[in-house]
Structure 1
Amino acid sequence: MDKKLGRPRSEKTKSDILNAAYELLIENGFAEITVEKIAERANVSKATIYKWWPNKAAVIIDGFLNTTNVELPIPDTGSTIQDMFIQVDNFTKFLTSRKGSVITEIIAEGQYDPKLADIYRKAYFTPRRSISKKILERGILRGELKKDLNIEVIIDLIWGPIFYRLLITGEKIDVAFVKEIINYAFEGIKHL
Protein backbone atom coordinates (compact mmCIF):
# COMPACT_ATOMS: atom_id res chain seq x y z
CA MET A 1 0.00 0.00 0.00
CA ASP A 2 1.43 3.34 -1.10
CA LYS A 3 0.86 5.95 1.59
CA LYS A 4 1.88 9.58 1.35
CA LEU A 5 3.66 10.89 4.40
CA GLY A 6 2.65 14.13 6.06
CA ARG A 7 -0.52 16.13 5.90
CA PRO A 8 -2.17 16.83 2.55
CA ARG A 9 -1.44 20.20 1.01
CA SER A 10 -4.14 22.73 1.74
CA GLU A 11 -5.34 24.98 -1.08
CA LYS A 12 -6.25 27.60 1.52
CA THR A 13 -2.71 27.52 2.90
CA LYS A 14 -1.30 27.83 -0.60
CA SER A 15 -3.63 30.75 -1.31
CA ASP A 16 -2.60 32.43 1.96
CA ILE A 17 1.08 32.09 1.01
CA LEU A 18 0.51 33.50 -2.49
CA ASN A 19 -1.49 36.41 -1.11
CA ALA A 20 1.18 37.12 1.51
CA ALA A 21 3.94 37.08 -1.13
CA TYR A 22 1.97 39.46 -3.36
CA GLU A 23 1.06 41.85 -0.53
CA LEU A 24 4.69 42.03 0.59
CA LEU A 25 5.80 42.60 -3.00
CA ILE A 26 3.44 45.55 -3.37
CA GLU A 27 4.26 46.95 0.08
CA ASN A 28 8.03 46.51 0.13
CA GLY A 29 9.38 45.55 -3.29
CA PHE A 30 11.11 42.37 -4.37
CA ALA A 31 14.48 42.94 -2.72
CA GLU A 32 13.01 43.42 0.77
CA ILE A 33 11.01 40.18 0.81
CA THR A 34 12.29 37.06 2.54
CA VAL A 35 10.77 33.61 2.85
CA GLU A 36 10.64 34.28 6.60
CA LYS A 37 8.49 37.37 6.06
CA ILE A 38 6.16 35.49 3.71
CA ALA A 39 5.82 32.65 6.23
CA GLU A 40 5.10 35.09 9.05
CA ARG A 41 2.47 36.98 7.03
CA ALA A 42 0.78 33.73 5.89
CA ASN A 43 1.03 32.23 9.36
CA VAL A 44 2.87 29.13 8.13
CA SER A 45 6.33 27.66 8.55
CA LYS A 46 9.16 28.23 6.09
CA ALA A 47 9.12 24.45 5.52
CA THR A 48 5.54 24.69 4.27
CA ILE A 49 6.59 27.27 1.69
CA TYR A 50 9.54 25.14 0.59
CA LYS A 51 7.21 22.17 0.02
CA TRP A 52 5.63 24.08 -2.86
CA TRP A 53 8.36 26.43 -4.09
CA PRO A 54 12.13 26.00 -4.37
CA ASN A 55 13.00 29.60 -3.48
CA LYS A 56 11.82 33.12 -2.74
CA ALA A 57 11.66 34.13 -6.40
CA ALA A 58 9.37 31.25 -7.36
CA VAL A 59 6.80 31.98 -4.63
CA ILE A 60 6.86 35.72 -5.35
CA ILE A 61 6.36 35.20 -9.08
CA ASP A 62 3.51 32.76 -8.40
CA GLY A 63 1.93 35.25 -5.98
CA PHE A 64 2.22 37.98 -8.60
CA LEU A 65 0.78 35.77 -11.36
CA ASN A 66 -2.00 34.48 -9.14
CA THR A 67 -3.26 38.04 -8.71
CA THR A 68 -2.46 39.64 -12.05
CA ASN A 69 -3.64 36.96 -14.49
CA VAL A 70 -7.23 37.80 -13.59
CA GLU A 71 -6.59 41.46 -14.39
CA LEU A 72 -5.41 40.89 -17.98
CA PRO A 73 -8.16 39.23 -20.05
CA ILE A 74 -7.57 38.11 -23.65
CA PRO A 75 -9.55 40.34 -26.01
CA ASP A 76 -11.55 39.00 -28.97
CA THR A 77 -13.59 41.80 -30.53
CA GLY A 78 -13.49 40.45 -34.09
CA SER A 79 -10.91 43.08 -35.11
CA THR A 80 -7.21 42.25 -34.88
CA ILE A 81 -6.09 45.86 -34.57
CA GLN A 82 -8.67 46.50 -31.84
CA ASP A 83 -7.67 43.30 -29.99
CA MET A 84 -3.98 44.26 -30.08
CA PHE A 85 -4.80 47.77 -28.93
CA ILE A 86 -6.84 46.42 -26.00
CA GLN A 87 -4.14 43.94 -25.01
CA VAL A 88 -1.32 46.49 -25.18
CA ASP A 89 -3.36 49.28 -23.58
CA ASN A 90 -4.53 47.04 -20.71
CA PHE A 91 -1.00 45.84 -20.11
CA THR A 92 0.56 49.31 -20.24
CA LYS A 93 -2.04 50.65 -17.81
CA PHE A 94 -1.18 47.75 -15.54
CA LEU A 95 2.59 48.29 -15.95
CA THR A 96 2.31 51.94 -14.98
CA SER A 97 0.25 51.19 -11.86
CA ARG A 98 1.83 50.41 -8.48
CA LYS A 99 0.88 46.76 -8.90
CA GLY A 100 2.50 46.59 -12.31
CA SER A 101 5.57 48.59 -11.41
CA VAL A 102 6.92 45.56 -9.58
CA ILE A 103 7.58 44.08 -13.05
CA THR A 104 10.50 46.48 -13.43
CA GLU A 105 11.79 45.42 -10.02
CA ILE A 106 11.56 41.76 -10.99
CA ILE A 107 13.29 42.44 -14.33
CA ALA A 108 16.04 44.34 -12.49
CA GLU A 109 16.55 41.50 -9.99
CA GLY A 110 16.65 39.08 -12.91
CA GLN A 111 19.76 40.81 -14.24
CA TYR A 112 21.65 39.43 -11.23
CA ASP A 113 19.70 36.21 -10.81
CA PRO A 114 19.49 34.10 -14.00
CA LYS A 115 17.09 31.64 -12.35
CA LEU A 116 14.67 34.45 -11.54
CA ALA A 117 14.97 35.79 -15.10
CA ASP A 118 14.15 32.34 -16.44
CA ILE A 119 11.15 32.05 -14.11
CA TYR A 120 9.63 35.42 -15.06
CA ARG A 121 10.25 34.88 -18.77
CA LYS A 122 8.57 31.49 -18.76
CA ALA A 123 5.80 32.26 -16.28
CA TYR A 124 4.94 35.85 -17.20
CA PHE A 125 6.26 37.09 -20.51
CA THR A 126 6.00 33.94 -22.61
CA PRO A 127 2.24 33.62 -21.93
CA ARG A 128 1.75 37.28 -22.87
CA ARG A 129 3.65 36.75 -26.13
CA SER A 130 1.36 33.78 -26.74
CA ILE A 131 -1.68 36.04 -26.36
CA SER A 132 -0.26 38.44 -28.94
CA LYS A 133 0.55 35.52 -31.23
CA LYS A 134 -3.03 34.20 -30.99
CA ILE A 135 -4.43 37.63 -31.79
CA LEU A 136 -2.19 37.99 -34.86
CA GLU A 137 -2.88 34.42 -36.03
CA ARG A 138 -6.64 35.13 -35.83
CA GLY A 139 -6.04 38.23 -37.96
CA ILE A 140 -4.27 36.16 -40.61
CA LEU A 141 -7.08 33.58 -40.62
CA ARG A 142 -9.69 36.33 -41.00
CA GLY A 143 -7.75 37.83 -43.90
CA GLU A 144 -7.00 41.08 -42.08
CA LEU A 145 -3.23 40.55 -42.09
CA LYS A 146 -0.67 39.35 -44.62
CA LYS A 147 -0.29 35.57 -44.66
CA ASP A 148 3.52 35.58 -44.69
CA LEU A 149 4.01 37.60 -41.49
CA ASN A 150 6.89 36.87 -39.18
CA ILE A 151 4.68 36.99 -36.11
CA GLU A 152 7.57 36.94 -33.62
CA VAL A 153 9.10 40.05 -35.22
CA ILE A 154 5.73 41.83 -35.23
CA ILE A 155 5.33 41.08 -31.52
CA ASP A 156 8.78 42.57 -30.87
CA LEU A 157 7.90 45.56 -33.05
CA ILE A 158 4.78 46.27 -30.98
CA TRP A 159 6.12 45.51 -27.50
CA GLY A 160 9.69 46.78 -27.89
CA PRO A 161 8.81 50.49 -27.65
CA ILE A 162 6.73 49.87 -24.51
CA PHE A 163 9.60 48.23 -22.66
CA TYR A 164 12.10 50.74 -24.07
CA ARG A 165 10.15 53.56 -22.44
CA LEU A 166 9.43 51.55 -19.31
CA LEU A 167 13.01 50.43 -18.65
CA ILE A 168 15.24 52.92 -20.47
CA THR A 169 13.85 56.38 -21.18
CA GLY A 170 11.10 56.67 -18.56
CA GLU A 171 8.99 58.59 -21.09
CA LYS A 172 5.22 58.59 -20.78
CA ILE A 173 3.32 55.47 -21.81
CA ASP A 174 -0.27 56.48 -22.43
CA VAL A 175 -3.24 55.66 -24.68
CA ALA A 176 -2.01 58.01 -27.43
CA PHE A 177 1.41 56.32 -27.48
CA VAL A 178 -0.15 52.84 -27.60
CA LYS A 179 -2.47 53.87 -30.47
CA GLU A 180 0.46 55.29 -32.39
CA ILE A 181 2.53 52.11 -31.97
CA ILE A 182 -0.36 49.88 -33.04
CA ASN A 183 -1.28 52.08 -36.02
CA TYR A 184 2.31 52.24 -37.29
CA ALA A 185 2.80 48.49 -36.86
CA PHE A 186 -0.46 47.60 -38.58
CA GLU A 187 0.22 49.88 -41.57
CA GLY A 188 2.95 47.47 -42.57
CA ILE A 189 1.15 44.20 -41.87
CA LYS A 190 -2.42 44.76 -43.03
CA HIS A 191 -3.64 42.67 -45.94
CA LEU A 192 -4.40 45.14 -48.73
Structure 2
Amino acid sequence: MREETGVAMVKGGGDEADSAPRRGRPRSIETTNAILESAYALMAATGLATTTIDAVARHSSVSKMTIYKWWPSREALLIDAFLHHAAQMLPLPPVSSGTPAARARRHAAAYAEALQGEFGKVQLAVISECISRTGSAELFYARYLQFRRDALVEMIAAGQTDGSVLAEAAPEDLYDAIYGSLFYRYVFGIAPITPAYARNLVDMVLQPKD
Protein backbone atom coordinates (compact mmCIF):
# COMPACT_ATOMS: atom_id res chain seq x y z
CA MET A 1 0.00 0.00 0.00
CA ARG A 2 2.19 2.99 -1.18
CA GLU A 3 1.40 6.14 0.66
CA GLU A 4 2.51 9.06 -1.50
CA THR A 5 0.24 11.88 -2.62
CA GLY A 6 2.58 14.81 -2.97
CA VAL A 7 3.29 15.44 0.72
CA ALA A 8 5.76 13.88 3.11
CA MET A 9 4.44 10.50 4.12
CA VAL A 10 4.95 7.96 6.87
CA LYS A 11 5.00 4.43 5.50
CA GLY A 12 3.10 1.88 7.52
CA GLY A 13 5.47 -1.00 7.83
CA GLY A 14 7.47 -0.34 10.94
CA ASP A 15 9.75 1.99 8.98
CA GLU A 16 8.73 5.63 8.80
CA ALA A 17 9.87 7.69 5.83
CA ASP A 18 9.20 11.04 4.26
CA SER A 19 9.04 10.54 0.51
CA ALA A 20 8.03 13.86 -1.04
CA PRO A 21 10.36 16.72 -1.89
CA ARG A 22 10.14 19.69 0.46
CA ARG A 23 10.85 23.36 0.23
CA GLY A 24 12.46 25.42 2.94
CA ARG A 25 13.50 23.99 6.28
CA PRO A 26 13.17 20.20 6.70
CA ARG A 27 10.57 18.78 8.99
CA SER A 28 11.32 18.22 12.64
CA ILE A 29 10.67 14.57 13.48
CA GLU A 30 9.72 15.55 17.01
CA THR A 31 7.20 18.11 15.76
CA THR A 32 5.81 15.73 13.14
CA ASN A 33 5.31 13.02 15.73
CA ALA A 34 3.65 15.48 18.12
CA ILE A 35 1.13 16.45 15.43
CA LEU A 36 0.38 12.88 14.38
CA GLU A 37 0.11 11.58 17.94
CA SER A 38 -2.14 14.47 18.94
CA ALA A 39 -4.42 13.89 15.97
CA TYR A 40 -4.75 10.18 16.75
CA ALA A 41 -5.29 10.79 20.48
CA LEU A 42 -8.08 13.26 19.70
CA MET A 43 -9.72 10.88 17.20
CA ALA A 44 -9.65 8.05 19.71
CA ALA A 45 -10.87 10.16 22.65
CA THR A 46 -13.38 12.57 21.16
CA GLY A 47 -14.11 11.37 17.62
CA LEU A 48 -13.45 12.84 14.20
CA ALA A 49 -15.96 15.68 14.42
CA THR A 50 -13.93 17.45 17.08
CA THR A 51 -10.52 16.55 15.63
CA THR A 52 -10.09 19.80 13.76
CA ILE A 53 -6.85 21.43 12.67
CA ASP A 54 -7.42 23.98 15.43
CA ALA A 55 -7.79 21.23 18.03
CA VAL A 56 -4.70 19.38 16.82
CA ALA A 57 -2.70 22.61 16.87
CA ARG A 58 -3.72 23.30 20.47
CA HIS A 59 -3.13 19.72 21.61
CA SER A 60 0.30 19.47 19.97
CA SER A 61 1.39 23.08 20.64
CA VAL A 62 2.22 23.43 16.94
CA SER A 63 0.96 26.30 14.81
CA LYS A 64 -1.86 25.79 12.33
CA MET A 65 0.41 27.29 9.67
CA THR A 66 2.89 24.47 10.16
CA ILE A 67 0.19 21.81 9.97
CA TYR A 68 -1.30 23.25 6.79
CA LYS A 69 2.18 23.50 5.30
CA TRP A 70 2.80 19.80 5.78
CA TRP A 71 -0.68 18.36 5.06
CA PRO A 72 -2.87 19.40 2.12
CA SER A 73 -6.13 18.63 3.92
CA ARG A 74 -7.64 17.58 7.23
CA GLU A 75 -8.41 14.15 5.77
CA ALA A 76 -4.77 13.65 4.79
CA LEU A 77 -3.67 14.50 8.33
CA LEU A 78 -6.19 12.10 9.88
CA ILE A 79 -5.08 9.27 7.61
CA ASP A 80 -1.42 9.92 8.35
CA ALA A 81 -2.13 9.99 12.08
CA PHE A 82 -3.83 6.61 11.78
CA LEU A 83 -0.95 5.34 9.62
CA HIS A 84 1.61 6.54 12.17
CA HIS A 85 -0.19 4.62 14.91
CA ALA A 86 -0.61 1.52 12.75
CA ALA A 87 3.11 1.47 11.92
CA GLN A 88 3.79 1.03 15.63
CA MET A 89 0.85 -1.20 16.49
CA LEU A 90 0.80 -3.41 13.37
CA PRO A 91 4.28 -3.40 11.82
CA LEU A 92 4.66 -5.45 8.67
CA PRO A 93 6.35 -8.78 9.47
CA PRO A 94 10.07 -8.82 8.64
CA VAL A 95 11.43 -11.53 6.35
CA SER A 96 13.54 -12.91 9.19
CA SER A 97 10.47 -13.73 11.31
CA GLY A 98 9.51 -17.02 9.64
CA THR A 99 7.87 -18.45 6.55
CA PRO A 100 5.44 -16.28 4.57
CA ALA A 101 2.48 -18.25 5.96
CA ALA A 102 3.70 -17.93 9.55
CA ARG A 103 4.19 -14.20 9.11
CA ALA A 104 0.76 -13.87 7.52
CA ARG A 105 -0.83 -15.70 10.47
CA ARG A 106 0.81 -13.38 13.00
CA HIS A 107 -0.09 -10.22 11.12
CA ALA A 108 -3.69 -11.25 10.45
CA ALA A 109 -4.14 -12.28 14.09
CA ALA A 110 -2.73 -8.93 15.28
CA TYR A 111 -5.06 -7.08 12.90
CA ALA A 112 -8.08 -9.05 14.13
CA GLU A 113 -7.20 -8.21 17.73
CA ALA A 114 -6.62 -4.53 16.90
CA LEU A 115 -10.02 -4.26 15.23
CA GLN A 116 -11.70 -5.00 18.55
CA GLY A 117 -10.28 -1.89 20.21
CA GLU A 118 -10.00 1.82 19.46
CA PHE A 119 -7.85 1.04 16.41
CA GLY A 120 -10.83 -0.52 14.62
CA LYS A 121 -13.14 2.37 15.49
CA VAL A 122 -10.63 5.00 14.35
CA GLN A 123 -9.92 3.14 11.11
CA LEU A 124 -13.60 2.91 10.26
CA ALA A 125 -14.16 6.56 11.17
CA VAL A 126 -11.28 7.74 8.98
CA ILE A 127 -12.52 5.70 6.02
CA SER A 128 -16.04 7.05 6.54
CA GLU A 129 -14.67 10.60 6.65
CA CYS A 130 -12.87 10.11 3.34
CA ILE A 131 -16.02 8.75 1.70
CA SER A 132 -18.22 11.53 3.06
CA ARG A 133 -15.78 14.24 1.94
CA THR A 134 -14.64 12.89 -1.43
CA GLY A 135 -17.15 10.21 -2.41
CA SER A 136 -14.65 7.35 -2.19
CA ALA A 137 -11.97 5.82 0.02
CA GLU A 138 -9.31 6.35 -2.66
CA LEU A 139 -7.36 8.78 -0.48
CA PHE A 140 -7.20 6.22 2.34
CA TYR A 141 -5.98 3.59 -0.11
CA ALA A 142 -3.35 5.89 -1.59
CA ARG A 143 -1.97 7.16 1.71
CA TYR A 144 -2.32 4.05 3.88
CA LEU A 145 -3.54 0.82 2.35
CA GLN A 146 -1.59 0.50 -0.89
CA PHE A 147 1.88 0.20 0.62
CA ARG A 148 0.81 -2.38 3.20
CA ARG A 149 -1.21 -4.35 0.66
CA ASP A 150 1.70 -4.40 -1.80
CA ALA A 151 4.11 -5.60 0.89
CA LEU A 152 1.87 -8.45 2.03
CA VAL A 153 1.01 -9.45 -1.54
CA GLU A 154 4.74 -9.67 -2.21
CA MET A 155 5.13 -11.84 0.89
CA ILE A 156 2.40 -14.23 -0.29
CA ALA A 157 3.95 -14.38 -3.77
CA ALA A 158 7.29 -15.30 -2.19
CA GLY A 159 5.57 -18.19 -0.42
CA GLN A 160 4.11 -19.42 -3.70
CA THR A 161 7.56 -19.22 -5.28
CA ASP A 162 9.32 -21.18 -2.52
CA GLY A 163 6.51 -23.72 -2.31
CA SER A 164 5.44 -22.96 1.26
CA VAL A 165 2.10 -21.52 0.04
CA LEU A 166 0.15 -24.03 -2.05
CA ALA A 167 -2.77 -21.80 -3.06
CA GLU A 168 -2.52 -21.07 -6.78
CA ALA A 169 -4.70 -17.97 -7.05
CA ALA A 170 -3.17 -14.56 -7.72
CA PRO A 171 -1.48 -13.32 -4.53
CA GLU A 172 -3.54 -10.09 -4.72
CA ASP A 173 -6.73 -12.16 -4.60
CA LEU A 174 -5.43 -14.22 -1.68
CA TYR A 175 -4.60 -11.07 0.27
CA ASP A 176 -8.05 -9.63 -0.42
CA ALA A 177 -9.71 -12.88 0.63
CA ILE A 178 -7.99 -12.70 4.03
CA TYR A 179 -8.16 -9.02 4.91
CA GLY A 180 -11.37 -8.33 3.02
CA SER A 181 -13.07 -11.06 5.03
CA LEU A 182 -11.78 -9.71 8.33
CA PHE A 183 -12.84 -6.14 7.56
CA TYR A 184 -16.24 -7.25 6.17
CA ARG A 185 -17.03 -9.21 9.32
CA TYR A 186 -15.90 -6.34 11.51
CA VAL A 187 -17.91 -3.65 9.70
CA PHE A 188 -21.15 -5.61 9.68
CA GLY A 189 -20.70 -7.41 13.00
CA ILE A 190 -21.40 -10.74 11.34
CA ALA A 191 -19.41 -12.82 13.81
CA PRO A 192 -16.77 -12.29 16.47
CA ILE A 193 -13.31 -11.75 15.03
CA THR A 194 -10.61 -13.41 17.06
CA PRO A 195 -6.91 -13.97 16.46
CA ALA A 196 -7.64 -17.70 16.24
CA TYR A 197 -10.22 -17.09 13.54
CA ALA A 198 -7.73 -14.94 11.61
CA ARG A 199 -5.03 -17.62 11.79
CA ASN A 200 -7.46 -20.29 10.60
CA LEU A 201 -8.58 -18.01 7.77
CA VAL A 202 -4.98 -17.58 6.63
CA ASP A 203 -4.50 -21.36 6.58
CA MET A 204 -7.75 -21.89 4.68
CA VAL A 205 -6.86 -19.29 2.04
CA LEU A 206 -3.12 -19.83 1.63
CA GLN A 207 -3.04 -23.62 2.14
CA PRO A 208 0.45 -23.52 3.65
CA LYS A 209 2.72 -26.54 3.87
CA ASP A 210 3.90 -25.67 7.41
Calculate the TM-score normalised by the size of structure 1: 0.83
Percent identity between the aligned chains?
A: 29
TM superposition shift of 1:113: 2.1
Q: 1:89 to 1:9 in 2, by over 3 A?
A: closer
Provide structure 2 residue ranges, at least 5 long, that are not aligned to the other structure: 1-22
- Counterpart AA for 2:78: I
Q: 1:120 aligns with which of 136, 140, 150?
A: 140
CA contact (8 A) 1:57 1:116 kept: no
Residue 132 of structure 2 aligns to a residue whose secondary structure is coil
Q: 1:91 aligns with which of 103, 106, 111?
A: 111
Residues 136-171 of structure 1 show CA distances to partners (whole Å, capped at 9, x for unaligned) of 122122122358531111111112210111112352
Calculate the TM-score normalised by the size of structure 2: 0.77
Which one has the bigger helix percentage? 1
Give the whole-Å Cα distance in 1 for the aligned partners of 2:29 and 2:202: 41
Q: 1:57 to 1:106 in 2, by over 3 A?
A: same
Alignment correspondent of 2:11? none
CA contact (8 A) 2:154 2:171 kept: no
Alignment correspondent of 1:11? 29
Alignment correspondent of 1:61? 79
CA contact (8 A) 1:85 1:178 kept: yes
Q: 2:57 aligns with which of 39, 54, 57?
A: 39
- Counterpart AA for 1:105: A
Q: Higher relative contact order by CA 8 Å / sep ≥ 6: 1 or 2?
A: 2
Alignment correspondent of 2:15? none
- Counterpart AA for 1:111: I
Give the whole-Å Cα distance in 2 for the aligned partners of 1:65 and 1:147: 30
Residue 92 of structure 2 aligns to a residue whose secondary structure is coil
Q: 2:154 aligns with which of 131, 134, 153?
A: 134
TM superposition shift of 1:176: 2.7
CA contact (8 A) 1:107 1:117 kept: yes
Give the whole-Å Cα distance in 2 for the aligned partners of 1:79 and 1:42: 41
Residue 38 of structure 2 aligns to a residue whose secondary structure is helix
TM superposition shift of 1:89: 0.6
TM superposition shift of 1:119: 2.4
Query: Rg larger in 1 or in 2?
Result: 1
Q: 1:99 to 1:78 in 2, by over 3 A?
A: closer
CA contact (8 A) 2:106 2:199 kept: no
- Counterpart AA for 1:132: L
1:14-29 matched pairs, under 5 angstroms: 14-29=32-47
Alignment correspondent of 2:67? 49
Give the whole-Å Cα distance in 2 for the aligned partners of 1:177 and 1:148: 22
TM superposition shift of 1:48: 1.6
Give the whole-Å Cα distance in 2 for the aligned partners of 1:122 and 1:9: 22
TM superposition shift of 1:41: 1.1
Give the whole-Å Cα distance in 2 for the aligned partners of 1:116 and 1:46: 27
Alignment correspondent of 2:184? 164
